[in-house]
């Protein structure tokens, strides 16, 4: 399974090489990285030519880009009207992925988006401009965004040829639906709160339409139980507000609120079209305090926001799958970053007995496990 991400794959650039990747252009009178800084300005990247110019972003790793957008600045006559969108892995040989002619009209700060048919991974993508919107002295672009086509890989466990298994986890949270910071039980706290309607307990109220928001770009969200709990799975629901979603964090546990054990570490996750993600962790200890310690969000300089944080204790069911078909694989397959803990207690066994219909194609990966393996994590 795969989906087109709604998140801009290019970070908010602060120079040609920071924070990651590399920006370059054929020439300039205004820095090319300003076309990727996510800040609307009078002019972003500007070149003193009405024709034959290009601007490029190089990703640290190759990506499948299937959509891009171009935003004009305060001088719409400088906006490009004819160009090609191209991909490359060496900066010398470029493949034309999209070609546009006479794209008009352009107004001040006007954004136009374009989807492309691309199935190949490229590190470098550029807009190669042939002509602009009639300005004889310069061409300029305020912002460029690129959107990745992301494959949602799923995995099954196999003990013998033709026998496949997956795991289904209980959905109920160990945290009761909170009505305040301390009601009905336990305590919800955070590093900060944006305002009184975005207090931390809203992330535990069972309502994904409310949320906790911080007054900083990073921070932590915590719940203190009144008794010891062995949390083995947590889920995060986001609001989808641009730039406010967590992308890098540690999930931590403590007995005293001072000394913390890191149970899980996630870095630079992409949410795409998803509103929630689940993470299974190989935790065999009991703690009373658990927190999500966020070190990076999806772009905002001032706010972090989470709709719901759910914590669960046990694996619920072992799913026995007598055949491998695409729709069953997609429905029951384990997702990336899932940890399989072979020491966990099961509540029961479910068997898939109905037939299935093939819905697509994919790749099968095989990993041989020994009796010494106690857990696996799919990266």
CATH value at residue 276: 2.60.120.260
What pLDDT does residue 239 have?
92
Ramachandran class of 60: left when φ > 0, alpha when ψ lies in -120 to 50, beta otherwise: alpha
Where does 242-372 have alpha helices with state H? Answer: 326-332
Domain-located, residue 307: yes
pLDDT at 168: 65
| Strand-pair partners of 28 | none
Confidence label for 373 from pLDDT (cuts 50, 70 and 90): very low
Kindly tell me the burial class for residue 191, based on how many C-beta atoms sit within 10 Å of its own C-beta (0-12, 13-18, 19 or more): middle
> What does the pLDDT look like over 200-216, one tens digit per residue?
999 999 999 999 999 99
pLDDT of 220: 98
The rounded mean pLDDT for the chain is 86
Q: What is the pLDDT of residues 308-365, one digit of tens each?
A: 999 988 655 666 766 666 666 666 677 666 656 665 555 555 555 544 343 343 444 4
Q: What is the pLDDT of residue 71?
A: 98
- Within a domain: residue 290? yes
CA–CA separation, 8 and 20 (whole Å): 14
Number of domains into which the chain is organized: 3
Is 68's pLDDT higher than 80? yes
Regarding whether 74 and 60 lie in a shared domain, the answer is yes
Do 139 and 208 belong to one domain? Answer: no
- Asked if residue 154 has pLDDT above 90, the reply is no
pLDDT at site 365: 42
- 44 and 145 housed in the same domain: yes
**Do 118 and 59 belong to one domain?**
yes
Range of the domain at 336: 155-169+316-378
- pLDDT of residue 368 exceeding 70: no
Answer yes or no: is 115 within a domain: yes
Last-in-domain residue among 261, 291, 312: 312
Q: Are residues 298 and 321 in the same domain?
A: no
Gyration radius from the chain CA atoms = 24
> What CA–CA distance (Å, rounded) separates 339 from 206?
25
- More confident site: 346 or 93: 93
**Which residues, 6 or more positions from 196, have their beta carbon under 8 angstroms from its beta carbon?**
none
CB 269 within 8 A of CB 237: no
- Residue 42 pLDDT level (bands cut at 50, 70, 90): confident
Phi, psi of 34 (to 5 degrees): -70, -15
Q: Are 304 and 328 part of one and the same domain?
A: no
In a domain, 20, yes or no: yes
Edge-to-edge order in the sheet of strand 276-280: 276-280, 233-237, 308-312
Q: Are residues 6 and 135 in the same domain?
A: yes
Q: Does residue 57 lie within any of the structural domains?
A: yes
Nearest to residue 48, comparing CAs of 138, 134, 130? 138
Do 280 and 340 reside in the same domain of the chain? no
Q: Take residue 174 and report the two structure tokens written for it.
A: 């160990």
pLDDT tier for residue 272 given thresholds of 50, 70 and 90 = confident
Residues 275 and 192 in one domain: yes
For residue 235, being part of any structural domain is answered with: yes
Same domain, 119 and 206: no
Domain annotation covers residue 176: no
Query: Where does a domain end: 312, 330, 363?
Result: 312
Question: Any idea what the Cα angle at residue 22 is, between residues 19 and 23, rounded to 5°?
Answer: 110
Give residue 241's pLDDT band: very low, low, confident or very high (50, 70, 90): confident
Nearest to 40 by CA among 14, 72, 75, 66: 72
Asked if residue 179 is part of any domain, the answer here is no
pLDDT, one tens digit per residue, over 143-152 is 999 999 987 6
């Amino acid at each position: 399974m795969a989906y087109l991400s709604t998140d801009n794959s290019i970070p908010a650039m602060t120079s040609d090489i920071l924070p990651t990747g590399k920006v370059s252009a054929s020439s300039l009178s205004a820095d090319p990285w300003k076309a990727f800084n996510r800040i609307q300005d009078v002019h972003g990247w500007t070149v003193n030519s009405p024709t034959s110019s290009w601007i490029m972003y190089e990703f640290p790793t190759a990506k499948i880009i299937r959509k891009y957008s171009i935003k004009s600045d305060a001088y719409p006559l400088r906006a490009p009207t004819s160009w090609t969108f191209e991909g490359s892995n060496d900066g010398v040989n470029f493949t034309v992925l999209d070609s546009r002619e006479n794209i008009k009209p352009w107004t001040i700060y006007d954004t136009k988006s374009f989807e492309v048919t691309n199935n190949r991974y490229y590190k470098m993508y550029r807009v190669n401009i042939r002509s602009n919107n009639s300005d004889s002295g310069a061409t300029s672009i305020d912002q460029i965004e690129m959107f990745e086509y992301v494959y949602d890989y799923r995995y099954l466990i196999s003990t013998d040829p033709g026998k496949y298994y997956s795991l289904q986890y209980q959905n109920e949270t160990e945290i009761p639906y909170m009505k305040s910071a301390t009601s009905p039980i336990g305590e919800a706290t955070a590093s900060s709160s944006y305002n009184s309607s975005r207090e931390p307990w809203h992330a535990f109220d069972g309502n994904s339409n409310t949320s906790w928001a911080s007054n900083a770009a990073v921070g932590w969200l915590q719940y203190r139980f009144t008794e010891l709990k062995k949390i083995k799975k947590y889920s995060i629901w986001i609001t989808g507000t641009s730039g406010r979603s967590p992308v890098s964090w540690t999930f931590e546990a403590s007995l005293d609120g001072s000394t913390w054990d890191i149970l899980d570490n996630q870095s630079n996750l992409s949410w795409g079209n998803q509103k929630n993600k689940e993470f299974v962790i190989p935790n065999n200890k009991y703690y009373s305090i658990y927190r999500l310690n966020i070190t990076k969000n999806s772009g905002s300089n001032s706010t972090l926001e989470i709709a719901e944080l759910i914590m669960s204790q046990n694996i619920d069911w072992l799913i026995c799958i007598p055949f491998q078909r695409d729709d069953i694989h997609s429905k029951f397959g384990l997702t990336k970053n899932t940890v399989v803990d072979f020491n966990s207690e099961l509540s029961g066994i479910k068997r898939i007995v109905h037939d299935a219909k093939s819905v697509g194609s994919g790749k099968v990966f095989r990993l041989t496990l020994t009796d010494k393996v106690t857990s696996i994590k799919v990266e």
